[in-house]
Amino acid sequence: MAQRRASRRRVETVASGVAELVPDPDRDTAFTLLLDGAPQSHVDLADPTYLQFEYIRRMAAAIDLVAAPGRPLRTLHLGGGALTLPRYLATTRPGSAQRVVEIDGPLVELVRRELPLPAQAGIRVRVGDAREAVEGMKDSGYDVIVLDVFAGARTPAHLASVEFARHLARVLAPDGWLIANVADGPPLKHARSQVATIRSVLPQACLVADAGVLRGRRFGNLVVLAGRTPPPVAELTRRAAGDWFPGRVETDLDRFAAGAIPVLDAVAVASPAPPAALFGNRK
């Protein structure tokens, strides 16, 4: 069995580094995508609703709650990886029109070849820079935008500014939602500035994360849900509390941001690098 699993492992050099597709030892049809050793995606080809990473489950919960169950959504995914959330959405909301923007063309080809998408999934993948793609899109074209872009283990600076956030708000429908993955650690300076930046254009927002991350005790992922109407806080709180790794919803973002101001292009920086040992015990 171990020998068969090893034969299914794939290692290739792509534009952003060394990509590895590692078979999941516990699920015969599942794989983890790593880039330069950092886990990027987990996909179960037989069950796209199985979500291994906790921050992905928090993003999926937000997608579940922003519209009636099963309703197709026009969705833009900035950052592709192994296309975990597009596959999830194609299963839970059939008929959704989905566009993915991923800068790494060789990675896209690896994923398409080794982890093929279901037929009629309605997922279109464009190779390109997320900001350049968004700047060329029409107004109000999407119900949901998922922002989950990392170069290595850091979000690029040009995707962390007010100018970019304005474009995201422009291409969202009036009742649309931005779901953004923000990675940070103590003292959460980057996360606070990103909350201030996003809320400058999409003021109705909340955060979902592990309590330790929200309190600035350790490095992790904070999911921002932001739009122009109040978010589904009660339902999101129940989902977060019932997760395998319970999370917390933060709604007092004035307090969380603690006086941080929106970040302009001229001073924007990439998200902080995670601690070197963070991925040492991940599958």
Q: Is the pLDDT of residue 280 over 80?
A: no
Query: Which among 240, 129, 263 has a CA at the least distance from the CA of 191?
Result: 263
| Fold designation for 47-267 | Rossmann fold (3.40.50)
pLDDT value for 118:
86
Domain spans, the chain: 47-267
pLDDT value for 6:
54
Identify whether 187 is preceded by a cis peptide bond (ω within 30 of 0).
yes
Residues making up the chain, counted from first to last: 283
pLDDT value for 1:
43
Angstrom distance (rounded) from CA 169 to CA 60: 20
Angstrom distance (rounded) from CA 278 to CA 272: 13
Strand order in the sheet with 17-23: 10-14, 17-23, 30-35, 38-44
7-18 average pLDDT score: 92
- HEC secondary structure over 124-153: EEEECCHHHHHHCCCCCCEEEEEECCCECC
Does the pTM surpass 0.85? The reply is yes
Asked if 156 contacts 21 with a C-beta cutoff of 8 angstroms, the reply is no
Which token pair is 131? 């900001």
In tens, the pLDDT along 90-128 reads 999 999 999 999 999 999 999 999 999 988 899 999 999
**What is each CA distance from 10 to 23, 24, 52, 247, in whole angstroms?**
9, 13, 20, 33
Most distant CA atoms of the chain, gap in Å: 55
Burial class (CB in 10 A: 0-12, 13-18, 19+), 227: buried
Query: Which among 209, 153, 151, 152 has a CA at the least distance from the CA of 180?
Result: 209
Which token pair is 272? 């902080």
Q: Is the pLDDT of residue 283 over 60?
A: no
